Amino acid sequence: MSDATNAGTILITGAGSGFGKGAALALAERGHTVIATTETDAQAAALQAEAPQLRVEKVDITDSTDVAKVSGWDIDVLLNNAGAGQTGPMADVPIDRVRHLFEVNVFGTLAVTQAAIPAMAARGSGRIIIVSSIAGVVAGPSFGPYSMTKHALEAMGKAMRAELAPQGIDVTLLNPGPYNTGFNDRMADSMWEWFDEDSVNAPATDLFKMVRDIVTTDQLDPAEVVEKMVELVEADTTDENNFLPVGIVEAMEAQRDALD
């Protein structure tokens, strides 16, 4: 039976794989009602077939019709996990790819959050967990596009934490480092879809490959992040930021300095 002290209804975006899927399964096992959302109908069907204990919904956070569904659900905790990745030097990265990153990571996340807040405010309680990244506080070569969006989420989360606290709504940020879900590998490879010897920053190619290797080598067990997500859902109080693993900020800053 549930180990949760106060089981509630948890909405998780981007629950088709990775951290989101792991958290959905773990929270359901602990007795929570989990609304696990995916970007596509195909992902939703696959997840529902695999995990019938979940309530699975298709919510593309960039689709206003999908986002509107959220306002009709009574949610105790919103876990903003959905996100997209893109690497590439700032001098070369196609603007349409940067716009897409902001549409998903920033505007989509904000839209879902705004849809969930009114019911929480009316009830006088709730929690919003925003999955940021170590990239939200430390930016490095070729990861600038992704870091831009995560820096924006840091601003969003910190502002909301102060604004919503008087209404009984807690807002907290989760900042994972390099965990082995496949996301970092796909993101690190994404720049090579368009970056080539004719790019402005082509002379720095060796540097970009070095950074890719640093980020994708010896990645950590994602179970640690899933465990932290469960902890944040059930905690009485939270910190503003939650960095994983411990000491990741100092380690990443040291690696960045070594590249200078």
172 burial type by CB count under 10 A (0-12 exposed, 13-18 middle, 19+ buried): buried
The CA angle 181-134-230, to the nearest 5 degrees, is: 60
* Phi–psi pair at 83, nearest 5 degrees: -170, 165
Q: Which residues contact 163 (CB under 8 A, 6 or more apart)?
A: none
Contacts of 32 (CB under 8 A, 6+ apart): 2, 4, 7, 8, 9, 10, 233
Q: For residue 115, how many C-alpha atoms fall within 13 Å in the half-sphere facing its CB?
A: 24
The pairs formed by 148-156 with CB atoms below 8 angstroms and a separation of 24 or more are 148/98, 148/101, 148/102, 149/101, 149/102, 149/104, 149/105, 149/106, 150/105, 152/102, 152/105, 152/106, 153/105, 153/106, 153/109, 156/106, 156/109, 156/110, 156/130
Catalytic residue among 59, 130, 136, 146: 146
Specify whether 179 is catalytic: no
Task: Please state the length of the chain.
Answer: 260
- Give catalytic residue positions: 146
